[in-house]
Structures are given as C-alpha cells and as structure tokens.
Amino acid sequence: MTPAAAMELAAATNENLANLSNTLIYSAMAVYTLAFFAYITEWLFGSRSKVGRTAAALTAGEDTGRAPAVTVQKAGGTAVLERPKVVTRAAAGARDVPDGPGAHGGDVQGDLYGRIAVSLTVLAFLIEFAGVLARALSVQRAPWGNMYEFNLTFSTVAVGVYLGLLALKKNIRWLGLPLVTSVLLDLGLAVTVLYTASDQLVPALHSYWLYIHVSTAIFCGAVFYVGAVGTILYLFKDSYESKLAAGGRPGRFATSVLERLPASASLDKFSYRVNAAVFPLWTFTIIAGAIWAGDAWGRYWGWDPKETWSFITWVAYACYLHARATAGWKGRKAAYIALIAFACWLFNYYGVNIFVSGKHSYADVG
C-alpha cells in the first residue's frame, strides 16, 4: 500500500466515533457485571422452599408406568374431574417430571432480583449495540471485518436472541446467568487479546456479501450458542433426575440449583427446537459464502480451512438432527452430538482464525 493510500484510509476513519465505541463497550461490560451479580443474587436468595418438585414427582410413581390418579370432587352435586397436569415426555422417553419454579424459586423476592437482572441486561445490550453501531459509523462499513468486531457483534446478537425469547414470553430466565457470564468472557477477550484499531477493509471484503454472509453466520452462531447452553444444562438435569429415580440422594448444590431448572424434557426440547430452527439459515450461510468466494477469488469452493470447517459444522449439526429422528439416538446420545457440533463451530471461528492460515487470514488477530 502506498503512503498516499494509507493516509486516505486513515482519513476515512472517524477517531472520535472509534473512541466512543471503545468507551461504550467498556460501559456495557460494567453493566453486564452488575447484571451478573443480580442473577447470582436471584439464585442465592430465591426461595428454596418451593423446590423438590422433581424428587416428589419421581417418588410419587410417575416413573413406574402407572397412570396418575384422577380425583373426583363434588361441587353443588356435580362431579368434577381434576385431571393431572400434562408434562411433556423427554426425548429419551425415560420419565415425566414437572419443570422447576425457576431461578427465583417461585417467591416474590427472588423474582424481583431476576427482574432487576433482566433490566440490567437490557441496558447493557443497548449500550453494547450503540458501541457496535459507533464502530460501524467510524469507518462507514459493516462492524464485522475482523475478530474483534465479530466478537462484539456476536455477543450483542446472543444477548438479543435471549431478550427476544423473553419478549415472546418464553420462560428462559435460567439462561441469563450463563449467558451474561460468557458474554463478559467474550468481551474481555475482545478488548484484550483480539482488539484491532478501527480501520478499513481489505479489498476482498468490499462486497455486499459481507452484509449477507457474515451477518447470518453471526446470528447462527448466537443461536447455536443458546442451544448449546440448553444442551449442557439438559445433561446435568437428566443425570440428576436419573439419580433420583434410582433412589440416590444428590447434594445440596444439586437440590438448590438443578431443582429450579426446567425438567430435562423441557431443556432437551428447547435445545432441539433452536438448533433445528437455525440449521436452514446455516445452510444458506455456507451457500452465500461460496457465492461470495466465486465473486472474490474466481472459484466457489477451494477447501480453504474456513470453508472446510464450516462444512464440518454443517455435517455435525445434520447428524444431530438425524439422530433426533432416529430411534435409539435420542436423549443423551444426541446431546453429545450437539455439543460436538457446537465445538466445531467454535473451532471454525477461534481455531481456524488464530492457528490456521488461509484465504480468511484477514480475520486474524490484529
């Protein structure tokens, strides 16, 4: 690059907006930290008197195959049937148990802490979104031209997915603590190891496909992350329920935490639905990348490391969805495949960009 071209690129960067973006990102991290402590408080001070639902269900004959009793009451001479609440059966078909009362334990005080945590999460999301927007305006382009910007946008979208599901009245506040924890780790990594000064793109990235291909990849990764958290919690809750069903006595931590989570059946269904919903979009992401490669490099597919691991990730999630539809591979076996698939996605981003050289090296650190 000639000195004149370098000066032109530097002039095209608005340093004031770039510095504002940095300030907003650090501010968002501070608010996320407050949200983290609020979620911790919700778990610690939520009522523990309303847990034990799983233990009660598994000791009352729900797992014995016997039909639950239907009680009959009389109201004004008319018999009224009180049917039991229907609980969705787990993917493995092993047991039926009710969902836990949530992180707050079902009490007013815990619920108040939870609402404060969600409010702080919303505030942090808005600040971080403003930081990403300021970064984009500082160079007049999409804010995902390198790993630092990708991390910022990825964490913003992940929190947006969580808040969007809450807005749809989905009872997933249990996701708040692991989400905020990982977002803080992600942003900490971004502002330290991955930080890159605001600058213009390399010529290969000057395409409208940058907005299409990379944005869908970010959204897919955020949804895959949400599904992975649900899968991990499913494995813990399923082990807990299995221990109870076998007559075991879990420790105090398991009783106070895992009892408040949804049943393993609900967690398993949640993870499957989010992964299945976003899989077609991941397919489109790979196709869009191939089209962009054809425009930029004159070939649609060259088995570049990024292309290869994108395809491996696609195959892994396809295997997971197939396993869910195949007898004998539901439940824990399918969950392990889902985690392997998400690990492939993580390596595709961090591992390939940092440790492997290829045509996508422009996304490397610095």
Angle between helices 176-192 and 15-45 (to 10 degrees): 150
Supply the pLDDT for residue 87.
Answer: 43
Residue 251 has a pLDDT of 76
Identify the pLDDT of residue 352.
Answer: 82
0.85 exceeded by pTM: no
Whether the pLDDT of residue 131 is over 70: the answer is yes
Q: What are phi and psi of 362, to 5 degrees?
A: -65, -15
Checking if the pLDDT of 53 tops 90, the result is no
Q: What is the pLDDT of residues 28-38, one digit of tens each?
A: 999 999 999 99
| pLDDT greater than 90 at residue 91 | no
**Which helix (H) or strand (E) covers residue 74, if one does?**
strand 71-75
pLDDT at 164 over 90: yes
Within 10 Å of residue 279's Cβ, how many Cβ atoms? 20
By the 8 A CB rule, do 341 and 319 touch?
Answer: yes
Task: Give the side-chain half-sphere CA count within 13 A for 174.
Answer: 27
Contacts of residue 314, defined as CB under 8 A and 6 or more positions apart, other chains included, come to 282, 283, 286
* pLDDT for residue 226 is more than 70: yes
Say how far apart CA 130 and CA 108 lie, in whole Å: 33
The residue-averaged pLDDT of 278-293 equals 92
Mean pLDDT value of segment 183-187: 95
Provide the greatest CA pair distance for the chain: 95
Is residue 69 predicted with pLDDT exceeding 60?
A: no
pLDDT in tens, 311-325: 999 999 999 999 888
Whole-number Å distance between alpha carbons of 12 and 14: 6
Residues linked to residue 75 through DSSP beta bridges, in sequence order:
78
Give Cα separations from 2 to 9, 182, 209, 361 (angstroms): 11, 41, 27, 21
Kindly state the percentage of the chain with pLDDT values over 70.
78
Please check whether residue 312 is in contact with residue 344, taking contact to mean a CB–CB distance below 8 angstroms.
yes
Does the pLDDT value for residue 355 go beyond 80?
A: no
- Position 76 scores a pLDDT of 52
State residue 231's pLDDT score: 95
| Greater model confidence, 275 or 4 | 275
> Which of the four pLDDT bands, split at 50, 70 and 90, describes residue 130?
very high
pLDDT confidence of residue 52 = 66
Q: What is the mean pLDDT of residues 250-270?
A: 84
pLDDT grade, residue 211 (50/70/90)?
A: confident
**122 confidence band (pLDDT: 50, 70, 90):** very high
State pLDDT tens for residues 265-279: 899 999 999 999 999
